[in-house]
Chain A
Amino acid sequence: GAVVSQHPSRVICKSGTSVKIECRSLDFQATTMFWYRQFPKKSLMLMATSNEGSKATYEQGVEKDKFLINHASLTLSTLTVTSAHPEDSSFYICSASLDSSGNTIYFGEGSWLTVV
């Protein structure tokens, strides 16, 4: 089946630095990728929708200058948390849409970010 890989799976960074999380579709081309954020014991909150070759569409309340999303190819989207602060610590999950209808979605394993 389709596989979506995230890297790194865990990262600790210092406050004020930036960290990049990669999301790759390993055996299919994904025209659309989604980035979610999940706090402990909470649901997944959609942050942004990323389309290859165009600017990401951010959900209300998500700072686009804080969470930079790049979707440079059909198999790679990156999320960069800029000037990270402890409150940015969270579980970040990406997903990729398999087909043009967007209904078939596969999720990555998530990336734990801890900002100290």
Chain B
Amino acid sequence: GESVGLHLPTLSVQEGDNSIINCAYSNSASDYFIWYKQESGKGPQFIIDIRSNMDKRQGQRVTVLLNKTVKHLSLQIAATQPGDSAVYFCAEWDQAGTALIFGKGTTLSVSS
């Protein structure tokens, strides 16, 4: 079946470091991917998205990279701050394009 997963369940970094969170997806037909940030007890918050016709997209302090050859997605956070501590999920639209499927999540912990 289709699934979206993450390589590491947890990532710990020092404040100011760059963080890289990875995600592998299985549905080669997926054409739209989104990264979400979820703080404890809250709903997911949109960070950045990317379509399959792109391999890189930049936002404010965040960059998403898409490698369709190996079906790999990554989120890079520059100059990580304590406020970035949260669980990060990648998500993709399912094959039918009717629902957003979430990966397992990576917990990012930023220490001062």
B-binding residues in A (CB < 8 A): 4, 6, 34, 36, 42-46, 49, 57, 59, 91, 93, 95, 102-103, 105-110, 112
Contact = CB atoms under 8 A, between A and B. Distances in A.
Contacts, number: 52
B109 to A, nearest CB: 14
A53 to B, nearest CB: 16
B45 A107 contact: yes
A112 B93 CA distance: 26
A56 to B, nearest CB: 12
Contact of A34 (B36, B49, B99, B104): B99
Nearest to B44: A107
B43 interface: yes
A47 to B, nearest CB: 10
Interface in B6-26: none
Contacts of B97: 102
Interface residues of B, number: 21
B50 to A, nearest CB: 11
* Of A43, A93, A95, most B-chain CB atoms within 10 Å: A43
Given A44-B89, A49-B98, A102-B98, A107 B104 contact: no
A95 B100 contact: yes
Nearest to B31: A103
* Of A49, A59, A107, most B-chain CB atoms within 10 Å: A107
Interface in B69-95: 89, 93
Given A43-B104, A44-B89, A103-B32, A110 B98 contact: no
A107 B39 CA distance: 13
A43 B103 contact: yes
